[in-house]
Structure 1
Amino acid sequence: MAKALIVGVGDGLSASLARRLANRGYDLVLAARDTDKLADLAAETGASTVACDASDPASVDGLFERVDAVDGPLAVAIYNPSARVRGPLVELAAEDVRRALEVTAFGAFLTAQRAAVRMLDAGAGTILFTGASAGVKGYAKSAPFAMGKFALRGLAQSMARELHPQGIHVGHIVIDGGIRNPGREEPADKPDSMLDPDRIAETYMQLVDQDRSVWSWEIEVRPWVETF
C-alpha cells in the first residue's frame, strides 16, 4: 500500500487533505510541532503522528525515519507550514524574519529534498506545496511572508522543471483568500468570501490524479467573489 505524508497539520485544510487521502487508502503520516492536537484526526484516519520542527534538518530526518518505517512507497508529500510576521519594514525584528523564512521556505526545501530522494528511487510520486497570493504579489507590512512564499514558489517551479522529466509530479497551489476553518466563518455581509477547505483538498487530489501528459506545476484557487 502506498503512503502519504502531510507536514504542518492542523484542523483546516490539512485535516481535509488527511481525510481525502485516507479515503483513497493511503497509509498516512501526519507531522506537526504539537501532535496532541492531532489525536482525533489520527484516530479518524488511522494515521501515524510525528512531532517535527520542519525548519530543523535533524527533526526532518527523524520524521523521514518514521515515514520509512511505514510499509510501501512514499506516493504523496504535502508541505503546508508557513509563518507570518506583520509590521512596518523598519520595525521588523531580524530574528523573527529569519524564523519566518526558515519555516515557510527552508523547511519546504528540507521536506521536499528528502521526499524526492525516496520518490526518485521508486520512479514516481507527487510533491505538493501550499502557496498563497503573497507568493505572487507582496503586500505592504507583510514582507517576511512574501519573502517566504516567493521562495516557496521558486522552489516548486525549479523542482518541477527538474523532476517532472524524472517521473515526479511537483505542484504549487496558490490559495488566494482566507480559508473557512473551524471557528472562522465569513462575515454575514460577505457570503462566499472564503475558500472551503474540503474543496481545496479536492483540487490537491486532482493534481495527485493528473495524467502526466498534462501535468500542471501551479494552480490558483480563490472564491468566485474575490477580485484579482
Structure 2
Amino acid sequence: MDYYDLNRRFVERESYDQDELIAGQLRGKLVGWSKVLENRSSVIVAAANFGKTTEMLQQAAQLRANGEAAVFIALRQLADRGSLDRALTGDNRDAFRMWKAAPFERITVFVDSLDEAAAGGKDESISHLVGDVADELSWPNEHVRWVISTRPAVLTAGVFEKLSELLSKAAPKPIGSSSGSGGLGTGGAASVAKEAEARVPLCLFSMAPLEDDRAVSTSRGDTQRWMPSN
C-alpha cells in the first residue's frame, strides 16, 4: 500500500484536560514525529479517521528500515488472540522475536488503538491489555519506548491516570555488587543491588489537522511517496 508523507504535526499538552481534547483545541508549538519519539512514553490523541493508524504503521516500518527494532500492535488483535506474539504478523512479528531473543537494544512499540480495546465499555480492559503488552516487554525496561494512539473520548481521566501509573514506572538500575560473607547472597556468590530511577512522566500529544495545501495535494495524489532509507 502506498503511503504519502504528509509531515504530520502534533501539539504537546502540558496537562490532561479531556474537554480540550474532545474539543480539539490546539495551543502551542507544532512539532513533528521526531519530538514524539524523543520521549519514553507518549499518547497521541486524535479523532476517528485522522490518520493515526497509518502514521504509526509507517513510523514503525521506517524505524525498521533504519535498522531499529519497532513493532505496531493492534490492541484489538491482542484482545482476540491472547498473546503479543500471536497478535503480531509479518515484519512486526519478526522484529519482536528478534528483539525478544536479545533484548538489549531499544525497541519502539506503537500501540493502536485504545478505543478498540474499550469496545466493551470498561476502562479496565484498556489498562489490562496495555498491561499485558508491558508484561511481555519485561516492563519497566529502559530499552522500551511507547507510542499509544486513542480517540479523545476514550482517554478519560481514569484511563490517563492508569496509563500514567504504568508507563511512568522507573526501570531498576544496578548500583553495585558484593561478594563473600558481606554480600547479599550466600556461598560467596556476587549479588547486585538495584534501585529505581526517577519516574518519567507520560507525554500527551494531539495530532494537528492537515494544512489546507497538504489536504489538497493528498486529494490530487501529488504528495511525495514515503520510501524507506537504506
| Coarse TM-score class (shorter-chain normalised) | 0.3 to 0.5
TM-score (norm 1): 0.38
Of structures 1 and 2, the one scoring higher in RCO (CA 8 A, sep 6+) is 2
TM-score (norm 2): 0.38
More helix by share: 1
